[in-house]
Amino acid sequence: MIDKQLKALKRSCWVIGDILALVLIIGICILLVQIFLSVYMSFLDDQAFIGIANFQRNHQYFAAISISLPENAAMTKLLSLTSMRTIILDPLLFIPSETPDPAKAAYLIEIWTKLLKNGLLFYSLFLVWQILRRINREISPFQIKTFYQLRLTGILVVAMAIIPRNLEIYAANLFFKSTLWFSDNSTPMLIMLFGIVILAIAYIFRYGTYLQQESDETL
């Protein structure tokens, strides 16, 4: 009975690990493309960035920035495919009825904030995938390495809730202090709580590691 449950558990770890690996491969490829495009757009002239007031999506209004590259059809198509040609600005920072000026700064603030979030997210997923891979290789998860990886994952998730948002607010204040509104500057509490839960699980694993070491020494 125990062997059957163990096999079922290993099978589940294999499936989750394979799905996570696929997500990581696709996500990292997308992230690399977005980083390349973001660096490329950092060197574009200010005239390529067009501010849009009252941009409507899903019956809501936003401020947005669109990129115009009439001389480069291939890059325009790539920007459209990656959903980076028109960026909707954070409605909690930028007033929908006003066009941010300079538009380029607003665009870069928004896109680099998203890239930072995605980078932290994918690195966290990579750490979880490493733990699953060790389990699939029939290596006990109750070891110090698992504790360090889970603890780092929890720290990264908490950082993802705090750092990008505050950097975005700070950068926006540098360029658009007179045209910003702050209807909600609160840290995403759900993400932060999730990170704290992961940290708690990490220390549970640390305790389990001590118990396993004592058991091995006794035997």
Quote the distance between the C-alpha of residue 21 and its chain's center: 16
Is the pLDDT assigned to residue 98 strictly greater than 80?
Answer: yes
3-state secondary structure of 196: helix
User: pLDDT tens digits for 57-78?
Assistant: 888 889 899 999 988 888 889 8
User: pLDDT tens digits for 166-201?
Assistant: 888 888 888 876 556 555 555 678 888 999 999 998
Is the pLDDT assigned to residue 1 strictly greater than 60?
Answer: no
Distances (CA, A) of 64 to 40, 92, 105, 215: 19, 13, 12, 60
Distances (CA, A) of 59 to 54, 135, 162, 211: 11, 47, 29, 56
Peptide bond just before 100 cis, omega within 30 deg: no
Select the more confidently predicted residue: 141 or 71.
71
Output the CA angle 47-117-20, nearest 5 degrees: 125
Least confident among 2-11, 16-25, 51-60 = 2-11
Angle of helix 73-81 versus helix 2-42 axis, rounded to 10: 150
Distances (CA, A) of 219 to 81, 140, 200, 205, 214: 60, 17, 29, 21, 9
**Per-residue pLDDT, 191:** 86
Phi, psi of 48 (to 5 degrees): -75, -15
